Structure 1
Amino acid sequence: MVMDEPLEFEKEEDPLLPTPPPAKRKKVIGLDDLLLDFFETGKDERRRKAKGAKSNTHDSRGYGSDDDDSRVKENEISFCKIFEVCQEETKGLDARDDVPPWGQQIFGCQKPPSNLSDTGIENCRLLQSFCSSEHLGFDLEIQQGEGFLEGMLMDGWLLKLVHMGGSVEDSVASWALTKLLYSSNKKLQVSATDFWDSILSLDEDDKLLVNLGYFPSYSVLKHAILSYGYLFETPGTKASTFESGIEDSSDVGPPHNIIAWLRIVSACCKIRKARSIFSPSEAEELLVIVISLFLDRGLEGLMLVLGDCLNSLVLYFNTREWESNCVMVAESIAQRVTMDLNCLRIVDCITGTNKRSKFLRSQLALQLLKISFGLKVGNVEKMLKLVTSINVKEKECDFFRLYVYLVLMDNLLFSSDAFRDKTMIVDTWRNYLRNCSTQIPFTNWGFYAPKVRNKASYLLQGAIFKKSGGDGSVSAR
């Protein structure tokens, strides 16, 4: 043994040392690599089988390598032809205009409000009492009065003085409402909104907490929403889609005071027991405005405020007024919204679980279907027959329009309880949903065909006949 050579145990590998990990394959493999690997594997396997058969049988007629190469090439050519056919079919399906997403332009260019300086606040007794007081420690002039009141409003002192006095002067109430609707100062706007929320609150006996002679009128609120650039008020005209909006401008889009506007409308509706601020027709128009705001994508972050205002307006009507006014609201909305994803958005935004909200959702679906089919009378049986007559097996079937019809028809039949007792209608609808979910093959790549199949399957699970209390019949107009 040579002294310089290592010992026997030093030549052995240390068992405690980790073994090197095996080389990893590439995570991303291209389609060409997969095809090449497949054909090469098949070629080697055929050659191996051919050699084995030749050695076992000693048959001189065994397959040669030239035959294998020709067969592999034929398979490659066949596969490429199939792939080209599928690619051409896919291009044909993509050669269409995509349905635009929901969203319509509800607000255009905002107009500057007029006569905001002429509020008459300098003549209010509250401000004059501060000007004539000798115990303030500073001299307050009438010209500085509005700035002084703004500070009191934002600090909460104005509200405290109102609660201590138990009443609000008309000039102070009108001035605070003007700040609420038009002020660009965010803190002042929020403070004015909180001020009005407080003075429009009711006690346990459903009476106002403070004496109030001035209330926000419909004309003032309507003038404000129009000055915000509201575009949805003209009957018979469709609002433009969101993508085709007017040129970019800082004056275009949802106004900064829209939250305050929604909160004051909601507060006015909640004191109906103490004071009816709006007539039924005025409340009807306000309800149309609020529902239309759900189509503005710029207001997606205000769903809670919009939902609260919508629910307050729905509950504002008494029982005698509700059914007729609900039909008028549904007709007005249906004449303005487009028959695409926007009409589905309008129906889905009515999320209330009370009977009135369900009835409104059902009426919206009824009027939209009525206009789409060009019917003068909302005959539900005829609408159902027209929808169920659409054959999903036809090549020219418009699956997108069928998708819209499925959603609207299901809301019409099952949002309210009006049709739950009509077994023939419910069974007809369930059978058609079953046909849509089973007769559209998974290989159908038609536009919206998979969505119709999946939607029909989903709706079929909910289309279960249940006996429940009705909330009024659906009117046919």
Structure 2
Amino acid sequence: MASKDEYPTINSSVVPKKRKKIIGLDELVADFYKEQSKNVEKESKRAKAAKKKFLLEEQDMKEASLSKLVDECHIQMNEMSGEEESSEWGIQLFRDQKSPPSLVNPVEGCGLLKFFLNSELNSLVELSLENGDSFIEGLLVDGWLTKLVLTYRHVEESIAVWTYNLVLYSSNEKLRTSACDFWCVILSSEKELKIDWFPNYSELRRALEVYGFLFSNIGAANANSSCGGPAQNIISWIKFVTAACQFRSKWSVFSTSEAEELVEVIICFFLDRQLQGLSVLLCECTQAVIGYFTDKEWEVSCEKVAKSLACRVPKDLNCIRVVECISGVDDRNKHLRSAVAFEILIGFFDYKAAQHDEVLRLLIAINLKDKKCDLYKMYIYLMLTQNWLLSENLLENNVVLKEMYGLYLRNCCCQISSTDLRTFASKVRDKASFFLQGASKI
């Protein structure tokens, strides 16, 4: 039997050596190109990232540049818009008010009231002088004073002065309104009344001075002034003037020169924005004062008023406001509107032209393409020319004027492009285009 030593055992813990893998040339080439492909892909990604970054930076720069350009345009447009908005009409014509005169009770010196108190009619109402001011004021507010005056057909001086002062100076609205109604009824009454005292123009003018009205140098007045405005009595003042002018056949209270100044004053009232709420009253008053003149007086007075207004009104948009507030459609209003527009227009040219065709030649000669051309003034010229020529239909029977006016309008349309950003460029172009359409139908 053989021994253990004769049969050696296999040691299972011994691991046989692995065979080394042999890498071929093809594999090496494949690995090389694979690596190269990865490098190319990485470079491509880097290039794309760099290009994208560049494009983003370039886009940001463009957006910043565009944003800056838009902001600059916005600022310029706001400046232009601000210039047009600040170029508004308006003058504050009333400054610091003065102390009004004292109001004297008329009871003691009024024979009519004493007669009424002793009459049988008073036995029914039992009024007494012991009530003082409230006695006469009550009669006025309730309308009894007006009825008494109409019944006895007599306005005594004490009553006339007292009620007139209430109209112009009273701070009590009821008394002021009642006194104004009293005078309107007296002036419009068909009955023949005896009036012991009637206010003249100097009284009305003095009231305006108390209200702080600027009779001269209104061109220097500031529309944004912090000074006080007109007194509430201005409403009654306007109503009184209207009533006094409507019945000239009975009460001829103003001279021709005084009536001329009244026309100027009333028209100037339209320039104060604080009186915009009184436009209807002012229009009625304007018509009444213009109608106060006789036909013969008006032929001369119209030109005087036009020349005076042209000197009083500042050379800005207030010119247009003054002309357009003369809104009546009758011959007198048309004549005055045309005359005022013409006088203001030739004033802009220092009165170098006096004839109609000479003025139009000056307007046609203006080069609107010139960047130094003041389009703000051109807008004023355009509006004044329209009112001057068309208010009295001066083009209907004058072919030369019509052709010259048409050429002027075409210049305003064609010499200003739609991209012109100058102040008032679009307004001049649009207005001229609109007027040109109307002129072609004349």
Q: Which TM-score tier does this pair reach, normalised by the shorter chain?
A: 0.7 to 0.9
CA contact (8 A) 1:101 1:341 kept: yes
Cα offset for 1:147? 2.7
Cα offset for 1:333? 1.5
CA contact (8 A) 1:365 1:411 kept: yes
One of 176, 201, 206 as aligned partner of 1:218: 201
Partner residue, 2:112: 126
Q: Aligned with 1:238: secondary structure?
A: helix
Partner residue, 1:183: 170
Mark the runs of 5 or more structure 1 residues left unpaired by the alignment. Answer: 1-63, 467-477
Partner residue, 2:308: 332
How far apart are the structure 1 equivalents of 2:107 and 2:439? 60
Cα offset for 1:308? 0.1
RMSD of aligned C-alpha atoms? Answer: 2.6
Could you list the per-position Cα deviations for residues 59-98 of structure 1 after superposition, in whole angstroms to 9, with x for gaps in the alignment?
A: xxxxx95667756754554454345345435535655772
Identity of aligned residues (%): 39
CA contact (8 A) 1:413 1:420 kept: no
Moved more, 146-155 or 433-442: 433-442
Cα offset for 1:275? 2.9
How far apart are the structure 2 equivalents of 1:201 and 1:448? 49
Partner residue, 2:135: 148
TM-score by length of 2: 0.81
One of 291, 294, 310 as aligned partner of 2:286: 310
Q: Does 1:381 align with 2:357?
A: yes
Cα offset for 1:422? 1.7
CA contact (8 A) 1:106 1:239 kept: no
Q: Does 1:270 align with 2:246?
A: yes
Could you list the per-position Cα deviations for residues 218-257 of structure 1 after superposition, in whole angstroms to 9, with x for gaps in the alignment?
A: 11111111111111x12x55241211x144xxxx202111
Mark the runs of 5 or more structure 2 residues left unpaired by the alignment. Answer: 1-46
Cα offset for 1:465? 5.7
Q: Does 1:359 align with 2:338?
A: no
CA contact (8 A) 2:127 2:135 kept: no
Cα offset for 1:166? 2.8
Q: Does 1:84 align with 2:65?
A: no
How far apart are the structure 2 equivalents of 1:177 and 1:145? 19
Q: Does 1:240 align with 2:224?
A: no
Partner residue, 1:61: none
CA contact (8 A) 2:100 2:169 kept: yes
One of 146, 153, 160 as aligned partner of 1:166: 153
Could you list the per-position Cα deviations for residues 389-445 of structure 1 after superposition, in whole angstroms to 9, with x for gaps in the alignment?
A: 222212222111111110011111111133432211222212221232233222211
Cα offset for 1:288? 0.8
Classify 1:72/1:115 alpha carbon distance in 2 versus 1 (closer, same or farther; 3 Å): closer
The aligned length equals: 391
CA contact (8 A) 1:130 1:140 kept: no
Cα offset for 1:464? 4.1
One of 227, 236, 239 as aligned partner of 2:210: 227
Cα offset for 1:364? 1.1
CA contact (8 A) 2:363 2:408 kept: no
CA contact (8 A) 1:420 1:465 kept: no
How far apart are the structure 2 equivalents of 1:434 and 1:69? 55
Moved more, 451-460 or 86-95: 86-95
How far apart are the structure 2 equivalents of 1:314 and 1:332? 15
CA contact (8 A) 2:91 2:223 kept: yes
Which protein has greater RCO, CA pairs closer than 8 Å, 6+ apart?
A: 2
Q: Aligned with 1:123: secondary structure?
A: coil
TM-score by length of 1: 0.75
Cα offset for 1:296? 0.8
Please say which structure displays the higher CA radius of gyration: 2
Classify 1:419/1:166 alpha carbon distance in 2 versus 1 (closer, same or farther; 3 Å): same
Cα offset for 1:174? 2.2
